[in-house]
Amino acid sequence: MERAGQWLSSPHRHHRHYDEESGGERGGGDGVWGVGSSSDNTFDIPPKNASIERLKRWRQAVLVLNASRRFRYTLDLKKEEEKEQIRRKIRTHAQVIRAAFLFKEAGERETPGPPGAITAPGAYGIVEEQLTSMSRDHDISVLQRYGGMDGLSSLLKTNLDKGIGGDEADLLNRRNIFGSNTYPRKKGRSFFLFLWEAWQDLTLIILMIAAAVSLVLGIKTEGIKEGWYDGGSIAIAVIIVIVVTAVSDYRQSLQFQNLNAEKRNIHLEVVRGGRRFEVSIFDLVVGDVVPLKIGDQVPADGLFISGHSLAIDESSMTGESKIVHKDHKAPFLMSGCKVADGYGTMLVTAVGINTEWGLLMGSISEDTGEETPLQVRLNGVATFIGIVGLTVALAVLIVLFARYFTGHTKNPDGTTQFVAGQTKAKAAVNGAIKIFTIAVTIVVVAVPEGLPLAVTLTLAYSMRKMMADKALVRRLSACETMGSATTICSDKTGTLTLNQMTVVEAHVGGRKIEPSDNIEHLSSAVSSLLIEGIAQNTTGSVFAPENGGDVEISGSPTEMAILFWGVKLRMQFEDERLKSSILNAFPFNSEKKRGGVALLLKSSGVHIHWKGAAEIVLSSCTGWLDEQGNVKPMDDDMMSQFKRSIEEMAARSLRCVAFAYRPYSLEDVPPEEERDSWSLPEVDLILIGIAGLKDPCRPGVKEAVKLCTHAGVKVRMVTGDNIQTAKAIALECGILDSGVAAVEPTIIEGRVFRAYSDAEREEIAGKISVMGRSSPTDKLLLVQALRKRGHVVAVTGDGTNDAPALHEADIGLAMGIQGTEVAKESSDIIILDDNFASVVKVVRWGRSVYANIQKFIQFQLTVNVAALVINVVAAISAGEVPLNAVQLLWVNLIMDTLGALALATEPPTDHLMDRTPVGRREPLITNIMWRNLLVQATYQVIVLLVLNFDGKNILRLNNETPGQADKVKNTFIFNTFVFCQIFNEFNARKPDELNVFPGITKNYLFMGIIAITVLLQFLIIEFLGKFASTVRLNWKFWLISIAIASVGWPLAVVGKLVPVPDEPFGNYLRKKKAPGHDDLTGNGVENEIPR
């Protein structure tokens, strides 16, 4: 526990033990295209804890046309600095209060006035301002004037043992008078703000200016009836792009707001009417009695009622890396702090905005975003493509201007568009603007602003769907990283098992008792000692209704099982606790695997009870109780017999808990003021009994483990339980193969692993399948060793001491039911149902995120390449482009916003689990994607260029006038190009599968977008000719367009039959650059991962 406290209070707890600047791995990275290393790649950041300098570097290198939109979902570095300044101010306030309190405590104070010196009108004997002032100022003298805890509870109409009544009228009244436990949140961005941000795109602004100039010139030269078409069409097209973009971005924003609200909704226990209830932190009211245990967050400002060894980490509020012990001398508890040790109960005195934490959260509640490694890499892709696009656009602009002003550009009727000295200035300017507009529109299509935002779209979609799969994502990058996970280090209890424990076997008084609750053969001395230990050495509780109904038991699953066993042993919980008082307690510690309590009996004797891991407690015993209550020495024979009983129970997957005690002299107990530092004696114990708890495997966990193994993800069990219990459960879950010898290091104890050197731990880490009797430190060492071997590690954890391992891992998975708030805050994803099967679903979603982005990249690059090549070749050779500005904007809409919606929201399929983990050093554009892209783009370029140069003959338009023939040909090219993209959108769904149609009917969004695209294309061609510079096509041309585009389907099948090398193309370049470089696999993991 001390180690956990040190970590909690450490000012460096948010930093790793090694340099993360290498990109999160101990090797080079393949960047975007498969070339270079992460150390020299600007667009490569670690998945966690990237430095500010690293974040600034990629922002400075990226090519951006619309900064407000591109950086919307990245970390706002300026706001982050503002947040920190607000934190510092409020922390300074807290430190001033604390300093004043310490000064007052140290000085001589006058005796406080009589109780009740301060009175207040109203339903309660005290008002909100008085409570808030006392809580914020930590003024103990004011508390004493109210009559101490008893007087204050009376004023608040609260019973310190049973809490408030808790009926709706009482709760509503308290909220009205003292406030609710909520704080004002800044409103989310309005839709109009998203419209404004979508408007900030530099290219769109240029297009609007060009459209305005064209509109003015057109109206002046051709009149308002005909002259508005060119400029007006572009302006309308730009407005449509802005509106569609804003709607898409606004929907994403709403999804993130809902998910953020879910993250803040902490659930905790309160005592109302003598019963423990689980409520939302927002439902807490002044006067509530709240039990606190290790890892909890203090939910409101309050006062210490009772407890033992209660230590609070106040660093989140004071900034001081110091653990503060709470008792009746220092009773004030601050909202937002964490329980580092011990347990106790608190009385809520201030909630919401009346607390320091409420002020802090109200000031910084707006989320400033977070960029993910994939998002940054995609900015690199977008920058590269954008530079190529700008170069192409500039080349097209120069060529078209040169041809235009030298008289080589012809009108449809064959006349020259510009003749020096003859063409009017207005006409010349209008012609130049049209050329400039085309070049700018090429930039719009070429610079894929939507590419990095597609990550946000797929993450928002995935996060919403993952909630249904019982996973709450706290860190966006974890979604991506989970797709690269090569190993999962899982807890046993509650994750692989149901966490529904029952005592099924018991050995008490030196013999096995059957059934486990049969104490008829035991003397009253033995049974009373056992029940005394069960009732007092616990953090759980038993509520017996006055009407004689079923008892209600609360606490951890282990505590609940033992308390339920105690009830079956005829334990009267409340009566038993009144028979003795607790002098000091040592809460259960996952390092020592046991917890103890010192009791003062009514006879003035002292009993010290211990409960914990059977073999550990047994090793401290020098005696045992027989069934008559006689203390017998623990000789070798009895020690062997007890060990054999433990091993037999453990082999049947039972968790073994031993109960022991020792008498103690009251004279040896330290005085009250020194008891917090008193270490309870834990030697010379007398064994009372051993209980075997059954916790069955979760249904479906064996299949989930099998699926992970098939997908190349190694599952390792890391548990604090006995090595034999761990082995039995591992065999039951499929983590261990019954045909494989379970020997070290496949199965290893934590202490053995801990004793190895760093190099030895690295060597054997990959071979470990089960680690038993592990401490949180052992889990941390295992994670570090696996990561040094190149593994991408996911770790599950629920306790406070698991926080360092959760933080160290690539993906920390906290348990939503049993997990402490400290564990949840250190995690990246919270598994809401504590189920391992849900962890596997997260792996599928992680792979799905990566796969969806790759689908979108393949689709978008195909459009980019085809559109750019067609326009460049046509411009250079013929002096005109077949796709005008409005048509290119429509293509951009299909490619960018609609394409992202269709492809980035594909649900995960089982096929994803047939692959190996996604290599974090694997290039975004794989060999398979290059093949598919080149096949489709080449086909589209050839067909459309042939149509551009010989379309009149092919389409038999020779009988038409030259102007009409050109319009029909260009409309046909535009229509065919759009349908090529529609058919290719289907191909992009399954880049590596021949059949691209499975599951398509279930993806309503995809089908809807395809239908909308086809409908709008039909309307553009048939009814919006003036707007898009198109003419109507007859049904034959429609069929021919669709037929040409549909060739993309069989062509994709043929293309997928062409083999490509497994090694990325970029690796060949790297080998040329760095001969003799020893490259690892795409995952950077040696042959430890099952394939």
Distance between CA atoms of 179 and 163, rounded to whole angstroms? Answer: 18
Mean pLDDT of 187-213: 78
More confident call, 1067 vs 594: 594
Q: How many helices (H) and strands (E) does the chain have?
A: 39, 26
Annotation says 491 is catalytic: yes
Q: In residues, how long is the chain? A: 1091
Q: Is the pLDDT of residue 365 over 60?
A: no
With a CB cutoff of 8 Å and minimum separation 6, the contacts of 115 are 144, 145, 146, 147, 148, 151
Q: Give the model's pLDDT for residue 1085.
A: 45
Mean pLDDT of 915-935: 85
Give the closest residue to 870 by CA, choosing from 821, 942, 923. 942
Instruction: Judge whether 991 and 927 are in contact, CB under 8 Å.
Output: no
Name the one residue in this structure whose structure tokens are 């070290």. 744
Q: Please write the tens of the pLDDT for every residue from 453-498.
A: 677 778 878 888 888 888 888 887 888 888 889 999 998 888 888 8
What pTM, to 2 d.p., does this model score? 0.77
Q: Give the model's pLDDT for residue 113.
A: 39
- DSSP states along 1056-1071: HTS---SS-HHHHHHH
Tokens of 434: 């049209």
The per-residue pLDDT of the chain, averaged, comes to: 81
Q: Is the pLDDT of residue 75 over 50?
A: yes
Q: Is the pLDDT of residue 1004 over 70?
A: yes
Instruction: Judge whether 367 and 256 are in contact, CB under 8 Å.
Output: yes
Q: Please write the tens of the pLDDT for every residue from 33-52.
A: 443 333 346 777 777 667 77
- For residue 350, the surrounding DSSP H or E stretch is strand 338-350
Mean pLDDT of 500-518: 88
Mean pLDDT of 49-57: 74
Mean pLDDT of 740-767: 88
As a whole-number percent, the residues of the chain with pLDDT over 70 amount to 84
Q: Give the model's pLDDT for residue 371.
A: 66
Q: Please write the tens of the pLDDT for every residue from 634-665.
A: 999 999 999 999 999 998 989 999 999 999 99
Q: Please write the tens of the pLDDT for every residue from 145-171.
A: 888 899 999 999 999 988 998 888 889
What residue ranges in 897-1001 does DSSP mark as E strands? Answer: none
Distance between CA atoms of 933 and 1051, rounded to whole angstroms? Answer: 12
Exposed e or buried b for every residue in 648-685, given b needs 16+ CB within 10 A? ebbeebbbbbbbbbbebeeeebeeeeebeebebebeeb
Q: Give 341's pLDDT tier (boundaries 50, 70, 90).
A: confident
Give the closest residue to 634 by CA, choosing from 652, 653, 658. 658
- DSSP states along 622-672: EEEE-TTS-EEE--HHHHHHHHHHHHHHHHTTEEEEEEEEEEE-GGGSPPG
Q: Give 911's pLDDT tier (boundaries 50, 70, 90).
A: confident
Tokens of 561: 């099982």
Distance between CA atoms of 487 and 767, rounded to whole angstroms? Answer: 12
Tokens of 592: 């020592």
Q: Is the pLDDT of residue 128 over 80?
A: yes
Distance between CA atoms of 303 and 295, rounded to whole angstroms? Answer: 18
Distance between CA atoms of 453 and 447, rounded to whole angstroms? Answer: 13
Q: What is the DSSP letter of 802?
A: G
Q: Is the pLDDT of residue 449 over 70?
A: no
Instruction: Judge whether 620 and 685 are in contact, CB under 8 Å.
Output: yes
Residue ranges of alpha helices (H) inside 319-372 are: 356-364
Q: Give 136's pLDDT tier (boundaries 50, 70, 90).
A: confident
Q: Please write the tens of the pLDDT for every residue from 546-583.
A: 777 788 888 888 999 999 999 998 898 888 999 999 99
Q: Is the pLDDT of residue 919 over 60?
A: yes
Q: Give the model's pLDDT for residue 511.
A: 87
908: cis peptide before it, omega within 30°?
A: no
Q: Give the model's pLDDT for residue 606.
A: 93
- Give CA torsion, residues 793, 795, 801, 805, to 10 deg: 10
Cα angle value 491/495/498 (rounded, 5°): 130
Distance between CA atoms of 1069 and 1079, rounded to whole angstroms? Answer: 13
Q: Give the model's pLDDT for residue 199.
A: 82
Q: Is the pLDDT of residue 20 over 50?
A: no
Q: Give the model's pLDDT for residue 705.
A: 94
Instruction: Judge whether 285 and 164 are in contact, CB under 8 Å.
Output: yes
Q: Give 440's pLDDT tier (boundaries 50, 70, 90).
A: confident
Q: Give the model's pLDDT for residue 739.
A: 59
Distance between CA atoms of 791 and 1089, rounded to whole angstroms? Answer: 9
Instruction: Judge whether 892 and 413 are in contact, CB under 8 Å.
Output: no
Tokens of 1039: 């069929």
Mean pLDDT of 28-32: 43
Q: Give 24's pLDDT tier (boundaries 50, 70, 90).
A: very low
Mean pLDDT of 136-146: 87
As a whole-number percent, the residues of the chain with pLDDT over 90 amount to 29
Mean pLDDT of 371-396: 79
Q: Please write the tens of the pLDDT for every residue from 778-791.
A: 999 999 999 998 89
Q: Is the pLDDT of residue 438 over 80?
A: no
Q: Give the model's pLDDT for residue 65.
A: 63
What three-state secondary structure class fits 191?
A: helix
Least confident among 31-45, 353-367, 694-708: 31-45
Q: Give 631's pLDDT tier (boundaries 50, 70, 90).
A: very high
Distance between CA atoms of 750 and 777, rounded to whole angstroms? Answer: 9
Pairing outcome for strands 685-694 and 621-625 = parallel
Least confident among 180-194, 250-264, 352-366: 352-366
| Catalytic residue from among 491, 695, 721, 778 | 491
